[in-house]
Amino acid sequence: MLSIENLSVKISNTTILKDINMSAKSGLVTCVMGKNGMGKTTLLETIMGHHIPSKGSIKYKGKNIEKLLPFQRAKLGLAYVPQGREIFSRLTVKENLLTALCMEKEKNNIDSEVLALFPILNEMLDRFGGDLSGGQQQQLAIARALLMKPKILILDEPTEGIQPSIIKIIKEVILFIKKKKTTIVLVEQYFDFAKDIADEIVIMDRGKIFTSGKVKILDERKIKDILSV
């Protein structure tokens, strides 16, 4: 569904990504891993159109999208939950959710199924986004992305700084939407979380892909050694 070929990205004349080749298969979870500063977030941002590749291509359903603007990629069905969540702190939870529906005919129709995935949000619809805890904000950010009914959901470290009970909720949500054939690409630091949800893992090192493959095939001990700081 999503393929990246010979992708390189320069930011301020520094090469951040070099000759990246990877794919995210339809309906599967692809997890990008690696130590901090290895280019993982830049890769996701480039997929979403926030950086222009210096070379290479990004294809969605066989069509090149590397020259499309972020909103054009969103229209195609790519939804992104960034590392900083980027919720609107002075909008209520409900208003944050409604921003995902600005292109829909039913602009005030929040999908009840999405709210059912995150029950706490239903109790906080009138609370300001900035008043939520980090874990609640993460749930809000993911729910907002899901309201766009994405074909590909892109998550940047969804478990970072989140308490275990909410990590469990996020894992269950990822597995649920995977069953609905949503393609998922995420950056994750914790292998134990990744192995429970991912079909394929891509390990990055210094802007390149060090190794990749199916979770069942990759050597767990070797991966943990690579990821250890």
Domain edges within the chain:
2-87+150-227
pLDDT at 183: 97
Q: What superfamily in CATH does domain 2-87+150-227 come from?
A: P-loop containing nucleotide triphosphate hydrolases (3.40.50.300)
Provide block-wise average pLDDT over 10 residues at a time, the chain (229 residues): 96 94 95 91 97 96 95 95 91 94 69 91 94 95 95 95 93 94 93 90 92 77 67
Q: Which residues contact 185 (CB under 8 A, 6 or more apart)?
A: 2, 24, 29, 30, 32, 44, 47, 152, 153, 154, 155
Please tell me the distance from the alpha carbon of residue 48 to that of residue 73, in angstroms, as a whole number. 7
Q: Measured between alpha carbons, how far apart are the two ends of the chain, in Å? A: 33
